[in-house]
Structure 1
């Protein structure tokens, strides 16, 4: 992928101003190349990522309202196509499906049994509407699943998840820069922001100005550039680029949350903090936060046999560190309390992930806050520990003997 700097002088063929017809032409071009175009649609009162045939399928005039344990769709500017932030779906559903068949075995009169693997041909998918935080999540999964090598000092992957790698290689990514931030967004405090910095084939910024409704489309790869050259529109001028920059600058100043600084070190020093017991009083261990998270990747294996006993299947499906059985070994589960399971999740996400993959496991999308039934806020929990340890040695809460010899 090619890193694009929006501050650079626009080059012919690299940036284009298009109308809604230009986005329709983009969808048609991708479908013409054999891609199934997946994009945002309104379903069951939420934004879901599903197949789209044209811009008429997009959430036109829809914005979202998000807070801890709260999500609503409201009416926004009539023509806006990307006025929402993020919904409960993430792109990992397409690249790392919730349920994957690994192999099936069946009785055979001659051979005793036969083993079949599912068709390994990956689908050609084009993702329309990938937010900058989601692009970062895709990059994190590339490291987790061994597609993108990283510093050997941070646990370089020795193996590649072949299914993920095949699907990822066939994916075409159309990013959408954010024009507004949601009430639970905190991407800027996680090192990201509302503007895509790379990892896309095309990036779109929706611009509403002086009665005009335009889209700045820029290429981030050779494939993206080839498709961009086929779209109806005009070359982007400096004032177009400046208008697009103003859109993302406005979103950058609207963050609904912020993560405390140096959170990885903070949590590593406070594994016995009393806050874990406090949050456990509210946590339902429902695993909603891990299911909506764009980077969580825990899974389990299941063998399923049909009623006749003639056929069995091995399936990999999503799991969560919040389930009691996830840490089960012979003799019982290691993490039996809700406090220990919540601590495992947040410390892995924000702290020990760095040791494994050289990056945080959180991109600041805020989904875990919005979709928690009781509104537990990951930034609030980290801040509570931070505030209680301010001015103390070794990260030990004031007024306690936790962690002291």
Structure 2
């Protein structure tokens, strides 16, 4: 286990309850009362994107997506579901590992000479609402690379430590989703503080909510809720199972590490490169890409300079 891993994996006394839509809004309020910045999906500019939420009303209720290779469209749903969409064009990496981070500044004084000031990590207490199982897996990879070992990234650690994760099990995968073949969904098993399974059927609109940490259980205890019965548990299990059965794609059972190592000179890479526009979209959408470069900038006087780290 690396330094960022906590009691979520081994937490045993798990609470479970059923929330209605009002309970979902109460969840957002409870997290904000604890001083957390709540980030979740919302509709903006013709897409379902991640942004800061003030209430659960800002979630994409009644919106779904059409997703295929090279195609993305949002569409209206008749059921008012909040999370019946596949992962969107962003990932949580945007908040844990931002695109640009200033590392230090230097000012030149005519008498005292240059003064260098290291940039202190920005302390943000995040609550991520709507984290998909595949996103949980991606965050664990970033934890291992940027939060573990000898070369920990202090900015990442400051943002990641203590982040409250509300996972949502997938009930409607996209045509390009393949989490089942990777053992990464559509259900969640660990790495969350709270997990939601959304149900919209003849019995109404509700969420089976279960805790995965002590803090998750404490937050759940603050919410208006009712006990979960076997009918709700069976319905939640069924919608996740059906999502697994309707997965759009699957990865072949191969050793990807060996495949990549042994195909470095394949003509396929030249084909991809010939069509690359250097737009950077692959870096933006990949939930685990952590490659960075540095850039130095100075003002017109030459007396002030800054160093920034940015995605490469």
Shift of 1:100: 0.2
Q: Which among 280, 290, 298 is matched to residue 297 of structure 1?
A: 290
- SS at the partner of 2:136? helix
Identify which of 2, 7, 10 aligns with 2:8.
Answer: 2
Distance 2:100 2:273 in 1: 29
C-alpha distance after superposition, 1:113-168 (max 9, x if no partner): 21223343411111111000000000000011133xxxxxxxxx322111111110
Report the equivalent of 2:25. 24
Contact 1:122 1:170 in 2 (8 A): no
Q: Residue 50 of structure 1 corresponds to which residue in structure 2?
A: 51
| Map of 1:272 onto structure 2 | 265
Question: Cα deviation per residue 1:275-324 (whole Å; 9 max; x = unaligned)?
Answer: 333444544443322220000111110111011111111000111xxxxx
- Using a 3 Å threshold, how does the CA distance of structure 1 residues 142 and 90 change in structure 2: closer, same or farther? same
Report the counterpart of residue 245 of structure 1 in structure 2: 237
Query: Which SS does the other structure have where 1:49 is aligned?
Result: strand
Contact 1:187 1:193 in 2 (8 A): yes
8 Å Cα contact 1:99/1:315 also seen in 2: yes
1:324 aligned residue: none
Conservation of the 8 A alpha-carbon contact between 1:40 and 1:48: yes
Q: Which of 1 and 2 has greater Rg?
A: 1
CA shift for structure 1 position 239: 2.0
- Give unpaired runs (5+ residues) of structure 1: 148-156, 320-405
Contact kept in structure 2, 1:18 and 1:215, CA below 8 Å: yes
Alignment of 1:70-85 (within 5 A): 70-85=71-86
SS at match of 1:143: helix
Residue equivalent to 1:356: none
The aligned residue for residue 140 of structure 2 is 139
Q: Does 1:87 align with 2:88?
A: yes
Contact conserved, 2:147 with 2:156, CA < 8 A, in 1? no
Conserved? CA contact 2:63–2:80, under 8 Å: no
Q: Which residues of 2 match residues 154-303 of structure 1 at below 5 A?
A: 157-262=149-254, 263-303=256-296
SS at match of 1:144: helix
Deviation at 1:40, TM superposition (A): 0.5
Q: Distance in 2 between matches of 1:226 and 1:212?
A: 26
Which range moved further: 204-213 or 309-318?
204-213
Q: Supply the RMSD in Å over aligned alpha carbons.
A: 1.9
Q: Distance in 2 between matches of 1:222 and 1:181?
A: 30
| Count of matched residue pairs | 305
- Whole-angstrom CA distance in 2 between matches of 1:229 and 1:173: 16
Measure the CA separation in 1 of the matches of 2:214 and 2:109: 49
SS of the residue 2:159 aligns to: helix
Partner SS, residue 234 of structure 1:
coil
Q: Deviations over 1:341-364 (max 9, x none)?
A: xxxxxxxxxxxxxxxxxxxxxxxx
Any gaps of 5 or more consecutive residues in structure 2? 1-6
- Secondary structure of 2:108's counterpart equals strand
| CA apart distance, 1:4 | 8.6
Measured in 2, the distance between the counterparts of 1:179 and 1:199 equals 19
Give CA-to-partner distance per residue, 1:61-114, whole Å, 9 cap, x none.
000111111100011133200111111111011110101011111123443121
